[in-house]
Amino acid sequence: MNMRTAELTEASTPEYAARTNRTRAAFLDFVRLYYDEMKVREAFERYVHVDYMQHNPAVTDGREAAIAHLEGLLARPTVTMDVRRILVDGDYAVAHLIGRQGPEDPGHALMNIFRFEDGLIVEHWDVAQPVPVTTASGRGMG
């Protein structure tokens, strides 16, 4: 059996459900602090490991590097982060959101993927694309 397939069977165990619930509780509070209240430092000091691994090519590893990068991005009072959905599975959590620099900015659709270990975020990946004015389907990015 393929190792990844074998790992998927773990998802049906009570232990996995408990781990998912613990991750969800921590992630919901992280999202509240970071995206809703824009308290980057507080969110990261509470929920992100000091040796945080970064997969965004514009940011170096480490909690402090992430804080410095994000505080710079969110420094303008017109910035908004509109979280559309949260997905949590085991040690992984995903936030889908629309980030805007101001009311006239159509924004970027973002997917932030986090991996937890022992209750802390230890790794991050993200993908982003500009929100177009119109789409072929007529549906938005959120």
Return the closest-CA partner of residue 124 out of 74, 57, 71. Answer: 57
Give residue-wise pLDDT tens across range 98-134.
Answer: 999 999 999 999 999 999 999 999 999 999 999 998 8
Which residue do the tokens 């959590």 mark? 93
Residues of the chain by 3-state class (helix, strand, coil), percent to 5: 35, 35, 30
Q: Residue 2 above 70 pLDDT?
A: no
Q: Residue 3 above 70 pLDDT?
A: no
Q: Residues 79, 101: contact at Cβ < 8 Å?
A: yes
For strands 120-130 and 48-54, give the pairing.
parallel
pTM above 0.95, yes or no: no
- Fold of the 10-130 domain: Nuclear Transport Factor 2; Chain: A, (3.10.450)
Please report the pLDDT score of residue 96 as a whole number: 98
For 79-102, b where at least 16 C-beta lie within 10 A, e where not — what string? Answer: ebbebeeeebebbbbbbbbbbbee
Domain ranges of the chain: 10-130
Give residue-wise pLDDT tens across range 19-34.
Answer: 999 999 999 999 999 9
